[in-house]
Amino acid sequence: MAKRDLLGMLDLKDDLNEIIDLGIKLKTRSKSGKKVEYAKGKNLLMIFEKPSTRTRVSFEVGMSRLGGHAVFLSPKDIQMGRGESIEDTAKVISRYGDIIMYRAFKWQDMEELAKHSQVPVINGLDNREHPCQIVTDLMAIKEHKGKLKGLSFAYFGDGNNNMAHSYLLGCAIVGMNVKIVSPVKYQPDAYFVEKAKEIGKKTGAKVEVTDKVAGAAKGMDILATDTWVSMGDEAEKAVRVQEFQGYTIDGKVMKEANKGALFIHCLPAYYGYEVTKEVAHGPQSIIFDEAENRMWAQMAIMMKLLGCKFKA
């Protein structure tokens, strides 16, 4: 089997729905008390340039549930970034493991590692995309709504970050209408908007980018947001907080959405900024189901990239 990487949402354009359904099957089977050890003996190597609660725990426990083993590698544990090239690191560690998860600062480094790795590489986040989180979110939405195609999704806040970029592509792939609501200065990279529109022509998804907050939630089935100050942007916090005033998802915004609309957030959340705690911990929020699904969705991704088969 040829090596397959997951570096961005376009790598899933042909089987995203299949992977989402596999995540649901794994979750259902495991919660019924049955084993899901479909990757027995496999080793996952996890490189973390950026720390993360959910990414580390979900991948590590997920691989364990699949019957495999996970190895955590922080910048202090490896020579990459302290003299050894990404190329050499990839060529060495891919001889030790069966699959690599890399959480990186720069997407160029992600592509470099994948280029020289002998085994599949999963993007656990970089400054361009966050594909695992979008698979997770779509899985949670499907569990609650029973479908994805035809739903309408609106993301409020920083539109020029990895979450917004991956939402554009992921929603378009599954046929979900997607709207990015952000200040003009923070709107998405044109590449992702155009790609989403191109995909949407085939799947029926409408793609919209606007800076108009008023009425943006009307007709929406899902509202989403992310932190206004991502890792690496801390020096801009005061400016960003000022420029994102008015983009907070609060009770008023939720009431504008369709009846039964869901709220999602990849976490960590900063209450009072991008969302109020009233909404994040309210009855329409599925943020903790979403967080749990990081594990199940990533188990499905690993199975798919490793060529493991699900057996009922």
**Catalytic positions, written as ranges:** 103, 130, 133, 226, 266, 294
**3-state class of 85 per DSSP?**
coil
160 CA to centre of own chain: 15
Q: Within 10 A of 14 (CB to CB), how many other CB atoms are there?
A: 9
Please report how many Cα atoms fall inside a 13 Å half-sphere around the Cα of residue 255, on the Cβ side: 4
Whether 196 and 224 have beta carbons less than 8 Å apart is answered as no
Which DSSP state fits 275? Answer: B
Q: Alpha helices of the chain — where are they, by DSSP H?
A: 16-31, 53-65, 86-93, 107-116, 131-145, 162-173, 190-203, 237-243, 251-256, 277-280, 287-306
Whether 310 and 22 have beta carbons less than 8 Å apart is answered as yes
147 CA to centre of own chain: 18
